[in-house]
Amino acid sequence: MIKANDPALRSWVSDANKGDFPIQNLPFGVFSVGDARPRLGVAIGSKVLDLQVLHTHGLLAELNIEQGVFASQSINELLQLGKPVWRALRQRISDLLNADNDQLRDNSSIRGEALHEQSAVTMHMPVRVGDYTDFYSSREHATNVGTMFRDPANALLPNWLHLPVGYHGRASSIVVSGTPVRRPCGQTKADDAAAPGFGPSRLLDFELEMAFITGDGKPLGERISTAEADDHIFGMVLFNDWSARDIQKWEYVPLGPFLAKSFASSISPWIVTLDALEPFRTAGPEPELPILPYLQTEGDKAIDINLEVFIQPEGGAEHRVCRSNFRHMYWSIEQQLAHHTVNGCNLRSGDMCASGTISGPTPDSYGSMLELAWKGSKPLQMPDGSERKFILDGDTVIMRGWSEKDGVRVGFGEVRGKVLPASL
Ligand code: CA
């Protein structure tokens, strides 16, 4: 077991032993207070621990990490240092926050400078995303979509059970939780229309996903095996892959998603390290067909992460519309990374790979409105009496995720985004 994951650990931070951010989690993010420059922090309880302050006072000296890494406005410089450094840093922070360690606990001056209320800080995009890839790794989601749009008898295309299908997405429009999302305009064509028209998307949707963030990987031309993959994955975030279904339906043939996806994707601000998720590994679905050797893995590679989606109408209360779990994914993050690099494609620090919509086996576990309301044929009833087939202007979509075992909850917090009317 990784020492910092010990369920017996307790922190001296008063409210750190309940909620999403106990001492066993220690997720990394980028925050600012007032007019100060954004810098790196770690969530503990309802607080943010300021890593730049710790470094300035010599509390991280043994790690030999340059000050600029903590003063940076993104986590990319830390990502470049590699897994042994990430792991040592998380362990050092765990030690400093341990109830038995008086170094920071009893130094009220540094403590006051280093701990901020989360409610008093602004969270920023934690990472400069160089490249973003979106996979399509939930069998239930791929089956649902294939059933709706193609052929129920052959819902999965022939390649799906043999490789983790994915496409290269747009990195520049990935935004941090809280950023409003404007309804996109685009070209759509109704089935019975002679020609396409232009206007606001009428079928705006969310996709419940998770994404992993990488370190530098190997040089161009080399591949990363499934066994090596975890050494190159820093951590994970919640990911809402906003989707305009009417634009998507018209544009996606033959090269796949483009403007229906590239207008925005939202992520949660705290990156939960892969190390912190290790205790929640579990068995994933059994492969239905034999898979090629480069995609084979040993041991439990799924991760048990509870996921929920809520819709909050303008001025109303949030209403849960989906409960799913990351463990349903047919292809693991190790298989995704091995497949991504098997042709010699290199990774860079801060690359992001999203999972694809995480749908479970039951209708209440589907990870998009397209599936929950089954292409508009089964509208969801909202507590205020309204119906939802897709997302309306003024709606806020909220996703939350957490793992729980042995009395320890490792949470992701949330990703939220409010939909603004299209600008014409
Ligand atoms: Ca997607």
Residue 329 alpha carbon to ligand 1 centre in Å? 13
Q: How far apart are CA 411 and CA 395, in angstroms?
A: 24
Residue 50 alpha carbon to ligand 1 centre in Å? 33
Q: Please report the pLDDT score of residue 184 as a whole number.
A: 98
Nearest to 35 by CA among 126, 111, 121, 125: 121
The superfamily CATH assigns to domain 132-420 is Fumarylacetoacetase-like, C-terminal domain (3.90.850.10)
Mean pLDDT of 246-260: 95
Mean pLDDT of 124-130: 98
Banded pLDDT at 150 (limits 50, 70, 90): confident
Q: How far apart are CA 164 and CA 291, in angstroms?
A: 11
Mean pLDDT of 141-157: 93
- Which of the residues are catalytic? 141
Q: Please report the pLDDT score of residue 298 as a whole number.
A: 96
CATH fit for domain 28-124, picks 3.30.420.40, 2.30.30.230, 3.30.70.660, 3.10.310.40: 2.30.30.230
**What does pLDDT average to over the chain?**
97
Partner residues linked to 403 by β-bridges: 410
Cβ(391)–Cβ(246) below 8 Å: no
Residue 210 alpha carbon to ligand 1 centre in Å? 10
DSSP track, 190-259: -TT-SS-EEEE-S-EE-BEEEEEEE---S-TT----TTTGGGGEEEEEEEE--EEHHHHHHH-TTT--ST
Domain ranges of the chain: 28-124, 132-420
Mean pLDDT of 395-422: 98
Instruction: For residue 6, give both structure tokens.
Output: 């010990």
Asked whether this chain's domains 28-124 and 132-420 adopt the same fold, the reply is no
Cβ(156)–Cβ(146) below 8 Å: yes
Mean pLDDT of 336-356: 98
Instruction: For residue 242, give both structure tokens.
Output: 């906003």
Neighbours of ion ligand 1 (CB under 5 A): 134, 207, 241
Residue 75 alpha carbon to ligand 1 centre in Å? 24
Q: Give the number of residues written for the chain.
A: 424
Banded pLDDT at 18 (limits 50, 70, 90): confident
Residue 270 alpha carbon to ligand 1 centre in Å? 20
Q: pLDDT tens for residues 317-329? A: 999 999 999 999 9
- Residue 51: pLDDT over 90: yes
- Residue 19: pLDDT over 90: yes
Banded pLDDT at 149 (limits 50, 70, 90): confident
Residue 85 alpha carbon to ligand 1 centre in Å? 32
Give the pTM: 0.98
Residue 32 alpha carbon to ligand 1 centre in Å? 30
Q: pLDDT tens for residues 285-328? A: 999 999 999 999 999 999 999 999 999 999 999 999 999 999 99
Residue 241 alpha carbon to ligand 1 centre in Å? 5
Report the percent of the chain where pLDDT is more than 90: 98
Residue 134 alpha carbon to ligand 1 centre in Å? 6
Q: pLDDT tens for residues 65-123? A: 999 999 999 999 999 999 999 999 999 999 999 999 999 999 999 999 999 999 999 99
Residue 242 alpha carbon to ligand 1 centre in Å? 8
Mean pLDDT of 361-388: 97
Q: Dihedral of CA 253/340/131/270: which sign?
A: positive
Mean pLDDT of 245-264: 96
